[in-house]
Amino acid sequence: MKTVKLLASALVVSLLLSACHTNTSDETTKDDYMDEDTTTEATTTNATKGITQKDWGTSDGKQVHLFTLTNANGVQVSISDYGGTITSFVAPDKNGKKESIVLGFNNLDGYLAHPPYFGATVGRYGNRIAKGKFTLNGQTYTLATNDGQNHLHGGNKGFDKVVWTAGNMDANNPQLSLSYLSKDNEEGYPGNLNTTVTFTLTDDNALRIDYHATTDKATPINLTNHSYFNLSGDVSNTILNDWLMIDADRYTPVDSTLIPTGQLKPVTGTPFDFTTPHQIGERIAQVPGGYDHNFVLNKKDSSLTLAAEVTDSSSGRKLQVYTTQPGIQFYTGNFLNGSIKTDEGKPINQHTAFCLETQHFPNSPNTPAFPTSILQPGQTYHYVTEYKVSTIK
Ligand code: BGC
């Protein structure tokens, strides 16, 4: 009892110091010493609805910040202006225990070491463009080939590695807007692209992301968020027992370099059929390398609709992904191999996280049959994705 009191005082001090930011290392400290109920209570009392900000190091000689959004229920999402990166997403399990459900680090250094897009805003073009080339209005453009022979996630220095500019904030409103001007010819892309990504944490526990962009020359664009989810809150657990539903009757099969063949193939009778919930691990052995595929969402228009749902029975956490986009990349962390460690030193092994990246289909600039990913001058690119958390008993 005495120990609990002492540690509770230590926790209050550490909470004051961390000024509203709940991160993985705080949790480890708490988990190490505190019982579950005390942890939950302490986290809740600390949580005031709104947004806080702190300095978080520098990159390219620019000040980097970490912002923490808290909603009325004490759900918290931390986002850095370095890469527009979601560094933590703290949500309760079925017993009310709060843990981050995304891979992330407490310090900027973790990101400067270039983990594979953990939580990042990916651009100018998420996923692959075959051989780093595309032709637009009669001109051929050459991009970096940073993934074997292909271009991946915007090139050598994509939107995930630049410092964005935060817009005006209201301390009581858990909303953050980040802007970035990608100059003409940056990473080989045509046109000055003005991008704004707005993150809003709603009181129904959804992280809503609004993507906006305009350009002065026609350009491919495919912005997405690359959060790696582990709903158990602990990377010691794989995601293979999680139940997944994807509302897609078709997917885009790929060649050996992960470029879509151009077909839209029915999922029926294949390991890609998640139209009814299946455990991720049930048929993964039948998919060489694991899942890393774009699914063609069953939608008739660009309204905000449920695209995917994942449930982790042990923690009771459920994630729902809503989007206005035509596709979603389901990636099972196939290339994670334990070489990257969490702040607590735990190796991040293969299949310990999944990504659900809302998007246009990979290699669309070279596949005229796919929905166009070209933004024209005078048009406004706008789309919405929501990551909503809840629990089941
Ligand atoms: C891609 C994977 C890639 C991962 C990390 C995903 O969006 O589809 O092939 O390994 O991002 O870069």
Is 82 a residue whose pLDDT tops 60? Answer: yes
Ligand 1 atom nearest the C-alpha of 362 is 8
The band of 3, judged by pLDDT with boundaries at 50, 70 and 90, is very low
Sign of CA dihedral 339, 340, 345, 346: negative
Per-residue pLDDT at 13: 34
335 Cα–ligand 1 center, Å: 8
Output the CA angle 18-19-24, nearest 5 degrees.
40
Q: Is 331 in the pocket of ligand 1 (CB under 6 A)?
A: yes
Out of 225, 292, 328, give the residue to mutate to test ligand 1, the one with the largest number of ligand atoms within 8 Å of its CB.
292
Give catalytic status of residue 357 as yes or no.
yes
What's the pTM? 0.89
Is 145 a residue whose pLDDT tops 90? Answer: yes
Residue ranges per domain, the chain? 1-46, 121-391
Unique residue bearing structure tokens 């070489």: 339
Per-residue pLDDT at 46: 55
Helix (H, G, I), strand (E, B) or coil at 46: helix
Number of neighbours of residue 106 by Cβ within 10 angstroms: 21
The protein residue with its alpha carbon nearest to ligand 1, atom 8, reads 292
Q: Does residue 128 have a cis peptide bond before it, meaning omega lies within 30 degrees of 0?
A: no
Per-residue pLDDT at 240: 98
119 Cα–ligand 1 center, Å: 12
Q: Is 258 in the pocket of ligand 1 (CB under 6 A)?
A: yes
Helix (H, G, I), strand (E, B) or coil at 38: helix
Mean model confidence pLDDT for the chain: 90
Mean pLDDT across 372-381: 98
Q: Is 117 in the pocket of ligand 1 (CB under 6 A)?
A: yes
Is 220 within 8 Å of 125 (Cβ atoms)?
A: yes
Ligand 1 atom nearest the C-alpha of 335 is 10
CA 51 to chain centre: 19
Mean pLDDT across 69-74: 98
Query: What are 4-60's pLDDT values in tens digits?
Result: 333 333 333 333 333 333 333 333 332 332 333 333 333 344 579 999 999 999 999
Is 149 a residue whose pLDDT tops 80? Answer: yes
How many residues does this entry show for the chain?
393
Q: Is 335 in the pocket of ligand 1 (CB under 6 A)?
A: yes
Ligand 1 atom nearest the C-alpha of 258 is 9
Per-residue pLDDT at 47: 77
Is 135 a residue whose pLDDT tops 90? Answer: yes
DSSP letters for 320-335: EEEESSSEEEEE--TT
Contacts of 227 (CB under 8 A, 6+ apart): 86, 89, 102, 103, 118, 119, 355, 387
Q: Is 118 in the pocket of ligand 1 (CB under 6 A)?
A: no
Query: What are 325-353's pLDDT values in tens digits?
Result: 999 999 999 999 999 999 999 999 999 99
Mean pLDDT across 88-93: 98
In this predicted structure, which of 31-40, 90-99, 128-137 has the lowest mean pLDDT?
A: 31-40
In this predicted structure, which of 21-35, 196-210, 256-270 has the lowest mean pLDDT?
A: 21-35
Select which of 27, 187, 357, 386 is catalytic. Answer: 357
The protein residue with its alpha carbon nearest to ligand 1, atom 5, reads 116
Any idea which architecture 121-391 has in CATH? Distorted Sandwich (2.70)
Give catalytic status of residue 278 as yes or no.
no
Select which of 153, 226, 351, 360 is catalytic. Answer: 226
Number of neighbours of residue 139 by Cβ within 10 angstroms: 10
356 Cα–ligand 1 center, Å: 11
Mean pLDDT across 208-223: 98
Per-residue pLDDT at 80: 98
99 Cα–ligand 1 center, Å: 25
The residue type of 189 is: Y
Per-residue pLDDT at 300: 83
